[in-house]
Structure 1
């Protein structure tokens, strides 16, 4: 009888030890999972903050370049579009001469934080542009933008349109060569467009 009781006691102690060990293991596993989740969340937050930081840096650089172009009397900044991605500045639009284009690039390169400048500037074919032509160009640009917006293939929000004396320039970034060619065809089909300079970049 005493032996039977002793066996039950030993069994109870053994089971108790297993349960305690199991609980401790489960607790350790839960803690490990919590640490892992916290680290993962922390990493995601860091990555998001890096992206936000880069965006803020790019926006600040764009603003600084635009201000520098406005301050320079030899450059007509109103006809120049400025975009920045990862500290690389892209200048697009139309200028009166090659010298003005080179000056604009030099001004942009002199801005703090700019690592390089991509020159997509074009020299105007006709330097004497009347107000009538300007109004016509504005209407042409608006019509092209509307047609790109209505198109299901071209990512219109990534495409910038500039028109000078009937010459259209397309800049920005698209997903494929097919999208680039589609955008060019849409622009060429608009009344009043003499030619299209397709400077769209295809994502690598």
Structure 2
């Protein structure tokens, strides 16, 4: 009787082990079949979004620490490595400088500064 119990436990353990080993490949197949649908709704993966967030932060930091650029008047967004600069700068020289700074950041594919207007800054200096 004790021998039957030992065999039954061994068989149960083997079945459970086999079930746990078989589950990950089936989950991998299921996740691969859903992957195109997920990408269709959102073309960026989590690492891509993280890279874009890092690029945006790095560009803002560089603009904020560079003389001759009023970083508080420049908005920075990044999508798939493309940096978009919007806002106001005081001169075309400042605009070109901001674009140069953004292009130097690792991971930047291109810079769109079409939304960066040259004219008086919007911030209020009167206190």
Please, what TM-score do these two structures have when normalized by structure 2? 0.65
User: Is 1:51 aligned with 2:48?
Assistant: no
Q: Aligned-pair RMSD on alpha carbons?
A: 3.0
Structure 1 runs of 4+ with >2 Å offset: 34-38, 42-48, 126-132
Higher relative contact order (CA 8 A, sep 6+): 2
In the TM superposition, 1:54-203 aligns within 5 A as 54-119=48-113, 120-124=115-119, 126=120, 131=125
The count of residues paired between Structure 1 and Structure 2 equals 98
**Structure 1 residues without counterparts, runs of 5 or longer:** 1-30, 133-204
For residues 69 and 28 of structure 2, what CA distance do their matches in structure 1 show? Answer: 52
Please, what TM-score do these two structures have when normalized by structure 1? 0.42
**Structure 2 residues without counterparts, runs of 5 or longer:** 1-21
Shift of 1:127: 6.1
Q: Which of structures 1 and 2 has the bigger CA Rg? A: 1
Query: Deviations along 1:24-50, whole A, 9 cap, x unmatched?
Result: xxxxxxx8xx966641324547967x6
Match of 2:30 among 26, 40, 44: 40
